[in-house]
Structure 1
Amino acid sequence: MTLLNIEDLSVHYGLKTVLRHVSFTVHQGEGWVIRGVSGSGKTTLARAIAGPDKYTGGLNISYDTRSNLPAKTLFVESWYRFTNLEGDRNFYYQQRYNHQQRRDTVTIARELELYGQTYALDHTRLQALITALDYDRVLDEQLFEISSGEHKKLQLIKALWLRPQLLIIDQPYTGLDVKSRGRLNELLNAYAREGGTLILVSNDTELPACIQHFAVMKNGGFELADAALVFEEKTLKPLPEFLKEPPQYTAPTLIDMKQVHVQYGDKQVLKDIHWQVNAGERWLLQGHNGSGKSTLLSLITGDHPQAYANDIKLFGVQRGAGESIWDIKKRIGLISPELHWYFDANATVLQSLASGFFDSNGLYRQLRYMQKQQLNELLKFLDLYDVKDELLTTLPLGKQRLALLGRTIIKNPQLLVLDEPCQGLDQQQTQYFNKLVDEISKNGVTIIYVGHFETQLPACITHKLVLQDGRAIENTRQ
């Protein structure tokens, strides 16, 4: 039975054509994956199928009236968008660590309860999904407190609890650790066995067995493809001269933590952490979703108030000795999924990169001549110069992330904190960025790199810290 039939579908945003004459058919119970480089039209196609994006051409969904699954199409976005109790999305980055403001959004448990009530869903099935994705431990947390991987799990639990006849998931594995990816594939296979039809928008290779149909998007066009997707390796341009200069270190040891603990009420998030990072070292930070990585990084970047209650020296200065959060941030370049969520939606690409000079959420100051020179060099180096005046949010997700990566390195800081920097990037962009990190590392910059997969890491890594349930279980030199 034909569930989805698309004929000559096109999508235009103003004068820009994003999808061009797409035609294909999906039968009930099939599993599809749609691949392609960032900006090729993958997400636009998914949104057109799920609605309400406008399009020209034919698009028809014919649900099976005999199926036990709801006659619905559900599109799971790459990011989870949520509001506070007043219906506002105006969160700020440090808010997730501020205990006094922890009642601004509903808890995960309440969010799921409301979702179940809306669609009259069976709670027995919900508990099975929570157990499979190891989600019990965050049920009492609020939406803005959890990590990007835990947000993704929430999206997936909702989708698989609803079990629509057609399920479309954009970037299903974003932010998930290795174990969670395997569990997700098992759940997707179970959904397919129940008669569900699945379309994944993903360039990942470790796919569920139910995926048997492959397509690739190229410049808004749609082509059937083999299982393997081969990307051309992107050549790295010569590094801008200012990034060849060594950082101006203010101390030989940048981070010195002794017996660090972080606790919310009875819940311990970090337990007895000892960690020293010296100038020029390049650390890999790993751990499963919820292991404490984001909290540990927030102590370093100055965003967590409990830093003052611990024995922590940053750049040779004891926390609480009078230095401001901006004294810390001016020495650090940071990129993380959470920073991306909270970034100024009205900033252009140029403003986004330039804000890295001032550690601001958008550009609010005039640039000096040398800063303008560095900005232009970096825009050209990252192939973003032609879109520098466009709003960051209008770019494909991968290009948005590249722009924020540029923001991270623009001031050539002492310490780069790269928290899952390639989340949302395709394979080609990931290889390109990691080569960039390797090239930048030659100037002696200190790096903390958070990444789940050994095959998608820079070659320059020299040290490794692994967290499990808030404790360091590995602290080694590579």
Structure 2
Amino acid sequence: MIDIQNVKIIKYGQKLFHDFSWTIREDEHWVISGANGSGKTLLLELLAGKVQLAQGRVRYNFILDHDWDSYYEALRSHIQYIPAHAAHSLLKKHHGLFYQQRYYGSFNESIPLVKEIFEQGLEQLHELEIPLSFNIASLLDLPLTRLSNGQFKKVLILKHLLAGQTKLLLLDYPFEGLDSRSRADLSDFIDHIANQKGIQVILSDHYHHLPQVINRRLTLNNFRIQQQRTIQPSKVSVADKPQKRVNHDDVADSKSIVEMKNLRIQYGQKVILENFHWMIRQGERWALTGANGSGKTTLFSLIYADHPLAYSQEIYLFGKRRGTGESIWDIKKRVNYLGPELISFLNPRGISDTGFDYIKNRQKLNDEASLQELIVYLQAEAFMRKPLSQLSSGELQILLLIQCFLEEKELLLLDEPFQFLDDQQKERVSVYMQKYLDKDKTLIMITHYEDDITRWSEYVMNI
């Protein structure tokens, strides 16, 4: 049992939790939900022992030590917490790498291999009796930067489980960025460790199907409990591949924004893409789909001038073949990119500017009216006047989307733009993209969700 009694947390000079109490029984596995900024991540940090309390206490029936050193060591051994941005944070620890730089990993021998981050714990992997769908044997000799989002999630969870005698596993948005097969695999693995290893699981999530073992939901509202209830298990579905829809007959006179011919991408012995052709014309709305590791973000990197292979392939951007004289910065002036690593690379904890001032200064806006209109439309007034260091993952995602929508660029690349957004914010962003973006602006969105594809995209490229 875990018992939180009369807790008060003061952070950034604000009372974020006040007289907060919550009891978690041994047979309960919880999902924490609530609007962006309601306190989900902070509550997980509280359970992980990473938050200093101004008042109250947290007691665990599996931690009996009374002196601080023993208590702290027991926390580290028995409770494993995996933040939403753990993968990107791990990359930053090694020579300041961030996710988009993985395309240069094969040229950098200092990037650690997967097996190296396990240190001595690698020999204990077999003790977990890992289901075949969660096996990482084929990944052990790969550089960290070569992993897809789904592969990285597997590695991080296994690394944390081997770090001690885990009693409690805390996962912040574990399903974000995963394809349907990877979400099903992760759900099955969570069920496995809960049922076979007796590990209690608490996770935060908005709208995904959940592991069968999750039987309770806590809903937060402004750092208070709005509701606690029992929930029924839901079966994780594995969606069929979206059908490729490519038809340019009605826009044949539009100018080409991106064209790829006979594209081949290979890393070592593994061929990612071969004989790949893709034409994107001005004003089109595309969904780019495919399993984790299929090459979606690689295609984005070729368009955004981040991938060295662009020079050896037949790739045309804005009518010019890549490598015929234009610089990387010439391309980036015309293309805007939003990807999952940007929040981590932004390092928001070190930024004291408010969200409003951060965007205004970066965009060098003379007229603030367009920024204010976006803030009002997305109902972001409350948090855009806070420092970036105080914003939640969902609030930071909205900030980055606002910045993207404001920039007058011809091509917008959105890699999982709805990550971390609650239902209401996802709806507002989706409607904005459908109704209010400049019709001449070209959009390509990476997504794993059929609802997103059928709702707003005109064309689908499945790889």
User: What SS is found at the alignment partner of 1:25?
Assistant: strand
User: What SS is found at the alignment partner of 2:86?
Assistant: coil
Match in the other structure for 1:448: 444
- Pairing of 1:138-153 with structure 2 (within 5 A): 138-153=139-154
Residue 261 to residue 19, structure 1, CA distance change in 2 (3 Å): same
Structure 2 residue identity aligned to 1:116: G
Contact 1:85–1:104 (CA under 8 A) maintained in structure 2: no
Match in the other structure for 2:110: 104
- CA distance in 2 between counterparts of 1:63 and 1:327 reads 58
Contact 1:84–1:106 (CA under 8 A) maintained in structure 2: no
Match in the other structure for 2:366: 369
Structure 2 residue identity aligned to 1:215: L
Contact 1:31–1:213 (CA under 8 A) maintained in structure 2: yes
- CA distance in 1 between counterparts of 2:192 and 2:130 reads 12
Q: Which of 164, 173, 182 does residue 180 from structure 1 map onto?
A: 182
- Pairing of 1:14-413 with structure 2 (within 5 A): 14-55=12-53, 56-63=55-62, 72-80=78-86, 90-91=96-97, 94-99=100-105, 101-112=107-118, 114=119, 116=121, 122-125=124-127, 128-129=130-131, 131-133=132-134, 135-161=136-162, 164-194=166-196, 195-226=198-229, 252-343=255-346, 345=348, 346-347=350-351, 348=353, 349-350=355-356, 352-354=358-360, 363=362, 367=364, 369-370=366-367, 372-385=368-381, 387-388=383-384, 390-413=386-409
Structure 1 residue identity aligned to 2:194: A
Match in the other structure for 1:426: 422
- CA distance in 2 between counterparts of 1:93 and 1:124 reads 29
Q: Alpha-carbon deviation of 1:435?
A: 1.4
Higher mean C-alpha displacement, 134-143 vs 147-156: 134-143
- Identity across the alignment (%): 29
User: What SS is found at the alignment partner of 1:428?
Assistant: helix
- CA distance in 2 between counterparts of 1:54 and 1:217 reads 20
Contact 2:264–2:275 (CA under 8 A) maintained in structure 1: yes
Q: Alpha-carbon deviation of 1:74?
A: 1.4
Structure 2 residue identity aligned to 1:34: I
Q: Alpha-carbon deviation of 1:226?
A: 3.8
User: What SS is found at the alignment partner of 2:289?
Assistant: strand
Contact 1:84–1:104 (CA under 8 A) maintained in structure 2: no
- CA distance in 2 between counterparts of 1:223 and 1:30 reads 18
Q: Alpha-carbon deviation of 1:272?
A: 2.0
Residue 199 to residue 93, structure 1, CA distance change in 2 (3 Å): closer
Higher mean C-alpha displacement, 322-331 vs 302-311: 322-331
- Which segments of 5 or more consecutive residues in structure 1 lack a partner in the other structure? 230-249, 356-362, 468-478
Residue 444 to residue 163, structure 1, CA distance change in 2 (3 Å): farther
Count of residue pairs the alignment pairs up: 426
Contact 2:20–2:224 (CA under 8 A) maintained in structure 1: yes
Q: Alpha-carbon deviation of 1:163?
A: 6.3
- CA distance in 1 between counterparts of 2:409 and 2:231 reads 39
- CA distance in 2 between counterparts of 1:368 and 1:181 reads 41
- CA distance in 2 between counterparts of 1:125 and 1:96 reads 31
Residue 144 to residue 14, structure 1, CA distance change in 2 (3 Å): same
Residue 78 to residue 92, structure 1, CA distance change in 2 (3 Å): closer
Structure 2 residue identity aligned to 1:11: I
- CA distance in 2 between counterparts of 1:84 and 1:39 reads 24
Q: Alpha-carbon deviation of 1:197?
A: 1.5
Q: Alpha-carbon deviation of 1:77?
A: 1.1
Between Structure 1 and Structure 2, which shows a larger proportion of helix residues? 2
Higher mean C-alpha displacement, 429-438 vs 340-349: 340-349
Q: Alpha-carbon deviation of 1:94?
A: 4.8
With normalisation by structure 2, the TM-score equals 0.83
Q: Alpha-carbon deviation of 1:98?
A: 1.8
Residue 35 to residue 384, structure 1, CA distance change in 2 (3 Å): closer
For each residue in 1:170-218, what CA deviation from the matched residue of structure 2 results, as whole angstroms up to 9, or x when unmatched? 1121111111111222222222223221111122341122111221111
Q: Alpha-carbon deviation of 1:140?
A: 2.8
